[in-house]
Amino acid sequence: MTTDSPAGSSAPSSPADRAYIGSFTSAGGRGVTTAVVAPDGGLHPVHHTDRALPDPSYLTIRPGLLYAVCETESGTAAALSLADRDRPEPLGEPVPVRGAGPTHLALAGGRLFTANYTSGSVSALPLRADGTLGGQPSVHPHRGSGPDTGRQRGPHAHAVVPAPSGRWLLAADLGTDSVWIYDLETDAHAGGGAVRPHGEVWLRPGSGPRQIAFHPGGRHAYVTCELDATVTVCHWDDAAGTLVPVAETPLVGPEATGESYPSELVVRADGRFAWAAVRGQDHIAVLALGGDGATAELVDTVPCGGHWPRGLALHPSERWLYAANERSGDVTWFVPDARTGTPRRAGSVEAPAASCVVFG
């Protein structure tokens, strides 16, 4: 580990004093890495699951449990016990999601949802009363294509994100330039059967929606678009379950050359700033959010501290921002300036083929 400030001498006592880092074991990753979060934000690895799970590229957490998608062609998801917070223990074998290449997952409506990139579908996995995975998943295949013949010959679901109310689930599809909206209340009334789409919203052709994040005010959402290096600001109506694109903001400056592939975007709890990781440019874009989140302005970019930042995470305390740099094999952390939003690099830790960071 390297750090640009002295390391703390004792472990923190906050509930979010553990970080769990996902990775690609097929590229040399150590599975899920547990790290202690020091008082200065530094990460101190204490355990790796290694190959107990193949390619656990994305994680989500609830009290006592950690969930992972295994981003393989066979497509599985796994639940891990956090009875020992330093040593996540898989609860049985990974469960098939009946989709290929799952890239993202979320807990919503009493189920675990996955976005299956290769097969272009969304899966809903039943949860037992204790939170473990059980039963056959229901699957909703997406349809359509986009103008980029290299990346958009068919659907590629990339993210599943619950609306703040918990009533809806939104799924970004890179292959179809659209966001699918699912009504979780209707699905629950139907007895937890097949996933039921409520509507589909199209973004600009060729934009390639990848990820979604909501403004804390609940009336706007931000869709990062991988293929044109922008973020689309959308108006969200939770009562109707509708999403309306209203503006686009570039995540790279006009002087940028070469590859520019945005990955993850996170929003500060007071709604003043958002940060987006951009692979290729290998920077973090700083966005100033106006009003109630209806506008987003690119105000700065800073190096991500490595190469190919696939994941970006804001610590629950909002004191630190973490970039999971897949190709350089490290996680770098930053201290965002409270006034300008610009992150200052504070340190890094080795994490081969790192893909995401969650806290618990």
For residue 16, the tally of other CB atoms under 10 A from its CB is 14
pLDDT, tens digit (0-9, with 9 covering 90-100), for 317-343: 999 999 999 999 999 999 999 999 999
Q: How far apart are CA 5 and CA 86, in angstroms?
A: 25
Distances, alpha carbon 360 to alpha carbons 16, 20, 159, 286, 357, in Å: 4, 8, 21, 25, 10
Q: How far apart are CA 57 and CA 358, in angstroms?
A: 12
Mean pLDDT over all residues of the chain?
94
pLDDT > 70: percent of the chain: 93
Q: How far apart are CA 60 and CA 310, in angstroms?
A: 16
pLDDT at residue number 164:
97
DSSP assigned state of 137:
P
pLDDT of 272 > 70? The answer is yes
Facing residues of 211 across strands?
Answer: 224
Facing residues of 181 across strands?
Answer: 170, 199
Q: How far apart are CA 57 and CA 204, in angstroms?
A: 28
CA nearest neighbour of 298 among 253, 262, 261, 264? 253
pLDDT, tens digit (0-9, with 9 covering 90-100), for 57-90: 999 999 999 999 999 999 999 999 999 999 999 9
pLDDT, tens digit (0-9, with 9 covering 90-100), for 195-209: 689 999 999 999 999
pLDDT, tens digit (0-9, with 9 covering 90-100), for 128-157: 999 999 889 999 999 999 999 999 999 999
pLDDT at residue number 79:
98
Which superfamily, per CATH, for 15-359?
A: YVTN repeat-like/Quinoprotein amine dehydrogenase (2.130.10.10)
For residue 2, the tally of other CB atoms under 10 A from its CB is 11
pLDDT at residue number 7:
36
Q: What six digits make up the tokens of 251?
A: 């995540």
Q: Residue 185 in 3-state DSSP?
A: helix
pLDDT at residue number 231:
98
Q: Residue 334 in 3-state DSSP?
A: strand
pLDDT, tens digit (0-9, with 9 covering 90-100), for 218-255: 999 999 999 999 999 999 999 999 999 999 999 999 99
Label residue 291 by pLDDT band (50, 70, 90).
confident
Label residue 4 by pLDDT band (50, 70, 90).
low
